[in-house]
Amino acid sequence: MTTQVRLTRTFNLPDRLRLARYQRTPELGPRLSFFSGGSALGPLSRRLISYTHNSIHLITPFDSGGSSAKLRRAFDMLAVGDLRNRLMALADQSVTGNPAITRLFALRFPKNGASAQSQALRARLADMVDGKDELIRAVPDPMRKIIRNHLGFFAERMPADFDLRGASLGNLVLTGGYLNNNRHIDPVVFLFSKLAEVRGVVRPVINKHLHLAADLADGSSLVGQHLITGREAPPLTSPVTRLFLCHGDEKGNCRREVEVSIRDKISALIQQAELICYPMGSFYTSLIANLLPKGVGRCVAETDCPKVYVPNSAADLEQVGMSVADCVARLLEYLGKSSGREEPAQRLLNLVLVDSAGGAYPGGLDMAAITRLGVQVVDLPLVSEASQPYIDEERLVEALLSLV
């Protein structure tokens, strides 16, 4: 029989003694949970593993640009690029890990070139499958055979017109493993977490072939994550009024809006968290996208731990016309929708970490407006001279770990 007791205490940010304890035994470190895309938290993740090997990363599988788009069109699958990014950021890069696997997964084929270049890339892929390539040979057995097996599975099923230019080798291996495991991604991510000595848990928030879509204030709509971010298309000029999931086609049309629920295993991961962080990054396509599946908000509300939002301290192309208070309100809105029931703000979000002195915060930082939403604002030096106007990852890691 267990008894629950609720206590309150004062936190020091940063708490140097607490941080020293975590650094001494990171394998026993706290379970910090992040909702994010793959690249925004790369530097933070690489610092985080010095303090804990138990962080939880729920990643958006909706990327629709670049080489991910080619894989998604060819195999009707979720995007694996952001998963690969986070796995590699959390991998043990020291001699005690498997740096040869990290180097292999980081390889990206040349993006430019004529059709002859594509044929040369197919020849190199064949050499990798046969174990002849230098990067493959550097990986010790039996890991080399596992990677070759999944890469071979991809090569066998690769369409005849598939363009390998710009392809990430890590994405190809994960895709081969996904196809080889009856289109289940979790076993593949688990396997390669072990191979690369990944210091944390990485999972897609859902395992579905879906796309992001956005309605804009000017009455237009966009289908595809790559169009919303403004990286492969003109930046947004009108605010996003609604973000949702859909079955999209190659022409960028939304065939059908979709409601999907998280799996029990994702619910369990959220409920294990000792701190939940909604971090900086692309506001809609990295953060809000993770909150669209049904059940996320309810699991967050039922998890008794600090819930922290770290807004972007510099420009985000997706936050057209939005202040930090607007972002907090929109975050609470989508968490409430995915809960399926009315939730007090404090069950969904407790703290907003800002740096009023160092951050730029386009759209404005009205701390009183945030407080009126039922959320406490903590103003501390998150931006360093070297990182300005962006958040210093080490300072943020120290602040988050001090709250656990």
CA gap 88, 40 in Å, rounded: 13
Residue whose structure tokens are 């962006």? 390
For 65, 74, 80, the CA distances from 166, given in Å and listed in that order, are 12, 15, 15
Q: Count how many Cα atoms sit within 13 Å of the Cα of residue 143 in the half-sphere of its side chain.
A: 21
Return the closest-CA partner of residue 285 out of 57, 44, 42, 59.
59
CA gap 59, 53 in Å, rounded: 17
pLDDT at 250: 58
Domain boundaries, the chain: 16-30+283-402, 66-204
CA gap 87, 135 in Å, rounded: 19
CA gap 178, 186 in Å, rounded: 8
Q: Which two tokens stand for residue 111?
A: 């993006």
pLDDT tens-digit readout, 240-273: 999 999 987 656 677 789 999 999 999 999 999 9
What secondary structure letter does DSSP report for 10? P
For 26, 46, 47, 88, 216, the CA distances from 23, given in Å and listed in that order, are 5, 14, 11, 20, 45
What share of the chain has pLDDT > 90, as a percent? Answer: 79
User: Across all residues in the chain, what is the average pLDDT?
Assistant: 92
This prediction has a pTM of 0.95
What secondary structure letter does DSSP report for 182? T
pLDDT tens-digit readout, 68-116: 889 999 999 999 999 999 999 999 877 677 888 889 999 999 987 666 6
pLDDT tens-digit readout, 348-362: 999 999 999 999 998
pLDDT tens-digit readout, 264-304: 999 999 999 999 999 999 999 999 999 999 999 999 999 99
pLDDT at 252: 64
Classify residue 156 as left (phi > 0), alpha (psi -120 to 50) or beta.
alpha
